[in-house]
Amino acid sequence: MEKQKLRNSTKCCTQRSAVNTPARTSLTRDYICNERRVELAYEGIRYYDIIRWDIAKEVIPTAIYNSDGTKPKFDGNPGPIPQSQMDIMADLWKQNPGF
């Protein structure tokens, strides 16, 4: 009975007639990992999958260092502050450099 439930629960993943693609003959770990990566992209649990599957060294880039061995300073890539906000906060704020 349990095997039948498992087969039925995976049918939705193996039979994909709605999207005109061939049926999957098996569910591999790579396929499941990719599906979770795509389907749960903005739900905040990708990091925990990476740790659980022990793939952090392959997916998370390593730090890049300058030629003198120091880490580059991240400037935050600031964009312009909207003019409507600058008009309100003119006495306190300065526009970001370059804008």
Q: Rounded distance, CA 27 to CA 24, Å?
A: 7
Neighbours of 33 (CB within 10 A): 14
Report the helix count and the strand count for the chain, using DSSP H and E: 5, 0
* pTM for this entry: 0.41
Q: What was the pLDDT predicted at 84? A: 92
Counting as low any pLDDT under 50, the low residues of the chain are none
Residues near 14 by Cβ (< 8 Å), separated by ≥ 6? Answer: 23, 24, 25, 26, 27
At 48-63, the pLDDT tens digits run 888 888 888 888 877 7
Residue with tokens 């770990």: 29
